């Protein structure tokens, strides 16, 4: 069984807003060939947001994704099908740190009238599983890495870097889960 470890970055603001306003601006993913790995491929693309195309200063500072990166990116309607094609037809489980990523995929698919593949529902919330296995309260991915003695690699809050880091945790936790 393959595991697709995904991390999304989305538009965000300092002041609270309706979460339905958020749009994906980066899809980062790592493919694990089995529960213990190894990683055999990566997907990393920026996405041009449609409804809020101008990134907030907060979003730029948090993610390090610049306005130019999203301005020259393709829209979700082109990037998401490429992501689905990259995943391929072989069976897989979608893995993310928390439930946010699956929820955001659902929202963006509805916004752009693109069907969410049914296979995405076969999702593992690694944050929840880590907490259960380690008998700890839920925590951020960075704190989980520290507990496991794994250094944070890359830039935190960048989709591909967070997917790589989450995949390191996944290779330890997934083999401990019952099939």
62 burial level (CB within 10 Å; 0-12, 13-18, 19+): middle
Residue 66 token pair: 């610049």
pLDDT band at 155 (very low <50, low <70, confident <90, very high): very high
Rounded to an integer, the average pLDDT of 27-49 is 97
Report whether the peptide linkage leading into residue 19 is cis, meaning its omega lies within 30 degrees of zero.
no
For the cut 70, the answer to whether the pLDDT of residue 178 exceeds it is yes
Q: In this predicted structure, what is the pLDDT of residue 160? A: 98
Q: What is the CATH number of the domain that holds 23?
A: 3.30.420.10
- Tell me, yes or no, if 146 is annotated catalytic: no
For the cut 80, the answer to whether the pLDDT of residue 29 exceeds it is yes
Q: How many separate domains does the chain show? A: 1
Catalytic entry in 26, 45, 123, 157: 157
Distance CA 124, CA 5 (A): 9
Residue 163 token pair: 């997917």
Residue 97 token pair: 């740190």
Catalytic entry in 9, 23, 26, 45: 9
Q: What is the pLDDT of residues 57-86, one digit of tens each?
A: 999 999 999 999 999 999 999 999 999 999
Rounded to an integer, the average pLDDT of 111-133 is 97
Ramachandran area for residue 157 (φ above 0: left; ψ -120 to 50: alpha; else beta): left
Distance CA 30, CA 135 (A): 26
Share of the chain above pLDDT 70, in %: 99
* Sign (positive or negative) of CA dihedral 169, 171, 175, 178: positive
Q: What is the pLDDT of residues 158-172, one digit of tens each?
A: 999 999 999 999 999
pLDDT band at 101 (very low <50, low <70, confident <90, very high): very high
Q: In this predicted structure, what is the pLDDT of residue 179? A: 66
Element (H, E) at 123: strand 123-125
Domain limits at 146?
2-176
Output the CA torsion 9→13→17→21 (10° steps). -40
- Tell me, yes or no, if 51 is annotated catalytic: no
Q: What is the pLDDT of residues 43-61, one digit of tens each?
A: 999 999 999 999 999 999 9
């Amino acid at each position: 069984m393959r595991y697709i470890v995904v991390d999304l970055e989305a538009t965000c603001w300092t002041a609270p807003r309706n979460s339905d306003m958020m749009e994906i601006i980066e899809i980062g993913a790592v493919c694990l060939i089995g529960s213990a790995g190894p990683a055999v491929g990566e997907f990393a693309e920026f996405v041009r947001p449609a409804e809020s195309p101008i990134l907030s200063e907060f979003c730029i500072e948090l993610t390090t994704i610049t306005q130019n990166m999203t301005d020259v990116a393709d829209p979700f309607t082109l990037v998401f099908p490429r992501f689905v094609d990259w995943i391929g037809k072989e069976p897989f489980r979608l893995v993310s740190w928390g439930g946010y990523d699956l929820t955001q995929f659902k929202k963006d698919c509805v916004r752009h009238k693109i069907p969410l593949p049914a296979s995405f529902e076969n999702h593992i919330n690694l944050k929840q599983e880590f907490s259960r296995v380690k008998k700890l309260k839920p925590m951020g991915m960075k704190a989980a890495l520290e507990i496991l003695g794994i250094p944070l690699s890359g830039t935190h809050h960048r989709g591909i870097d967070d997917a790589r880091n989450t995949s390191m945790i996944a290779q330890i936790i997934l083999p401990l889960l019952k099939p």
